[in-house]
Amino acid sequence: MTETPIVEFRNLGKEFSGTRVLRGVELKFERGEVHGLLGENGAGKSTLIKILTGVYSHSEGEIIVEGKPVTISSPMDAHKLGLGAVYQDAELIGSFTVAQNVVLGGEPGRFTLNRKAIRDQGAKILKEIGLTLDPDRIASSLSAAESQLVILATLFQRKYKLIVLDEPTARLSATEAELLFRLIRRFQEEGITIIYISHRLGEIRQLCDRITILRGGRVSATLAGADITEERVTELMVDKTKNELEVFNPGLARPEGMLQVDQLSCDQLSPLSFEVHAGEVLGITGPVGGGMELVARAVAGLVPHHGQIKIAGQTTDLSSPSKALEAGIALIPEDRRKQALFPNMSAAENIALPVLSRLSRGGFISDRAKLTYAEQVIKRLQVKPDVPGKAMKFFSGGNQQKAVIGKWMSAKCRVYIFVEPTSGVDVGAIRDIYEIMLGLARDGAAVILISSSMREIMALSENVIVIRDGKAIYRAPKAKCTHDQLLGISMTGRVA
């Protein structure tokens, strides 16, 4: 590989309001290689990709595309340079056919629309990359997996040089994944570079020519071929230097049971039973999209599910989010911007939302009571800046997260479910959030922590379940687990 690399990072760094998330990244992506990108949550993977695709701009260093330094200041710039990404919530024009989507933007002809030519061209591209899909199917009828494959076809049609795939198999069945791998190899033959982000070591060994492991915002190592072993990868991923920063759960569980889940199952999740005592923190981990998120969605009433759920011994109906809330279940979702916050409303209004009836007098909300209440919560959770009247969107990720937690704190919930509570949270706030979570357990709530970060799981939980491919493959008290062992189980699916 002596050609000029397709993309090269030189001394790349990124800083978010004083916090360094990437530093001194030196990385080359060669033409036609599949390059794996690994790292724990917060290691800087997604920041690196967002810089490459123009979502963020970098703070320092250079990006060189095919030998020429470039500035990528918007997603459009990245697309013009032939750099694209397929995200999990893939986007297509729902009312168009598969062929129309594939050809979109590159239709033959000047003014008139030749539907037959579009169909033929779309069908030809599908055939060329070996995708057996009916070109006349309407895009809105495709499954998530099929949409992903069609998006890949559109990128192929537009002659992309580099494509980022972020956890592409998270929602795919085995056969669909196999189809995706074939597609990736086909792209490789065409000289297209693939950056492959995944936590599944099996796939990575099967596909990638080289892998780069990020740790704490730096390149930990780049490995090739036979050097990619489980031991090496775990060793390189784990950041040993940060251990002293961590909080530790000394064991807060009380004897009385709080949440009892019996044979809970939904689409993509095999029946699962577990129990969480009052004051206990249960950690659920596994690869992204492997089913751990579904536990939260099912218990919070967001997806249809089977099985019995008892709270404090009482069978509870959790068929909708409002029923789950009535039963005392609070969900702190991962995507707080979309699912938990009202960005244009003030911090006080966000925080006071679930307890408004308590702050009302004669049916009218007392502004003063609302403000006093919000001030209390803000002080208790150390939300910064402590300005209750400021619109939520102007707070940093970490403080937004605190506000989401604050929202539920005095709603006196009995079960708190946290999904990736520190993703996108600035380092300074992580410790505060951990302390708040342990505080909830100390007050006797049952806490479920769903996280792909082993550090988080090890720091906070008392018991651990690993879910992969929709099944609980490992469960043990935290005392019997080690960080590397859990990471190994999650990545390979094998219990040593």
Nearer to another protein, 137 or 414 (CB): 137
Cβ atoms of 416 and 258 within 8 Å: the answer is: no
Q: How far is the CB of 156 from another protein (least distance, A)?
A: 13
Nearer to another protein, 92 or 378 (CB): 92
Query: For residues 130 and 150, what is the distance between their CA atoms, to the nearest angstrom?
Result: 11
Question: Cα 39 to chain center, whole Å?
Answer: 13
Q: How far is the CB of 409 from another protein (least distance, A)?
A: 26
Cβ atoms of 107 and 99 within 8 Å: the answer is: no
Q: How far is the CB of 348 from another protein (least distance, A)?
A: 25
Nearer to another protein, 1 or 144 (CB): 144
Nearer to another protein, 76 or 356 (CB): 76
In sequence order, the β-bridge partners of residue 37 are 197, 212
Nearer to another protein, 445 or 487 (CB): 487
Q: How far is the CB of 167 from another protein (least distance, A)?
A: 13
Structure tokens at 305: 């599910």
Nearer to another protein, 160 or 416 (CB): 160
**Helix, coil or strand: residue 163:** strand
Q: How far is the CB of 265 from another protein (least distance, A)?
A: 10
Q: How far is the CB of 192 from another protein (least distance, A)?
A: 17
Residue type, 496: A
Q: Which residues of the chain form contacts with another protein (CB under 8 A)?
A: 75-76, 79, 84, 91-96, 100-101, 104-107, 109, 111-113, 137-138, 140-145, 154, 158, 169, 171, 173-174, 176-178, 200-203, 205-206, 230, 267-270, 291, 469-471, 492-494
Q: If we measure between CA atoms, which residue out of 11, 1, 14 comes closest to residue 49?
A: 14
Peptide bond into 385 cis (omega under 30): yes
Question: Cα 207 to chain center, whole Å?
Answer: 22
The residues, any chain, with a CB within 8 Å of residue 46's CB and separated by 6 or more, are 166
Query: For residues 120 and 135, what is the distance between their CA atoms, to the nearest angstrom?
Result: 9
Nearer to another protein, 391 or 473 (CB): 473
Structure tokens at 340: 């938990």
Q: How far is the CB of 311 from another protein (least distance, A)?
A: 25
